[in-house]
Amino acid sequence: MPQATISLHDKQFSPYLPARQIAESIQALAVRISQDYAGRQPLFVSVLNGSFMFTSDLLKELTIACEVAFIRVASYAGTSSTGEVKEILGLQEDVQGRDLIIVEDIVDTGHTMRALLDLLTAKKPASLAVATLFLKPECLQHELDIRYVGLEIPNDFIVGFGLDYDGLGRNYPDVYKAV
């Protein structure tokens, strides 16, 4: 059961999505991915820091052989996107000719995802797909093909299940929205 309200820095957050609903969404994504990649061995490229919980839970539900790698990028300052994406920790694996699935916690403006898709496409993978736990369609500023979407949500600022507000809130199993 989520806490009634949580305080992070100078903001209050109220319960939004319970852990159970998130888990069901991840299980449904895992079934689709396992079917789509049957007989293949994709490399999941997890975008740190926000997607660590999603990546962990998603991979535990998959029924296919797979690998995971991590990349860290940043485009947020506080509660809003800066619009500027900078790669912080690069991908060490050779991805040429591999089936890649980018695992992201949330896609809102699409700036980060557009930059990642461009970065990874240049490395010549066999295929490239995106799996995001949350998508804010009304915020998108780029046309993106996001094959696997856990939940579409409105333009609320959310924390929990890996998502943070200036470093706090990632540890909550439920998702909360700013009030």
Q: Is residue 102 part of a domain?
A: yes
Q: Report, as residue numbers or ranges, the catalytic residues.
A: 108
Q: Is residue 13 part of a domain?
A: no
Strand arrangement of the beta sheet that strand 175-178 belongs to: 6-8, 11-17, 175-178, 158-159
Residue 11 maps to a domain = no
Average pLDDT rounded to a whole number, residues 122-146: 96
pLDDT given at position 125: 98
Domain tally, the chain: 1
pLDDT-wise least confident of 32-36, 71-75, 136-140? 71-75
Q: Does residue 43 belong to any structural domain of this protein?
A: yes
In this structure, is residue 71 part of a structural domain? Answer: yes
Residue 29 lies inside a defined structural domain of this protein? no
**What pLDDT is stored for residue 92 in this prediction?**
86
Mean pLDDT confidence for 19-39 = 98
Tokens of 119: 């970065």
Domain that holds residue 53: 39-75+96-170
pLDDT band of residue 84 (cuts 50, 70, 90) is low
Q: What is the pLDDT of residue 7?
A: 97
| Any domain includes 27 | no
Q: What percent of the chain shows pLDDT beyond 90? A: 82
CATH number of the domain enclosing 121: 3.40.50.2020
39-49 pLDDT, tens digit per residue, is 999 999 999 99
130-143 average pLDDT score: 96
Q: Computed from CA positions of residues 78, 79, 81, 82, in that sequence, does the dihedral angle turn out positive or negative?
A: negative
* pTM as predicted: 0.91
Say if 3 falls within a structural domain.
no
pLDDT averaged over every residue in the chain:
92
> Which one, of 47, 42, 17, lies nearest residue 30 by Cα?
42
**Using one digit for the tens of pLDDT, what is the confidence trace for 146-156?**
999 999 999 99
Q: What is the pLDDT of residue 91?
A: 85
Handedness of CA 119, 121, 127, 133 (dihedral sign): positive
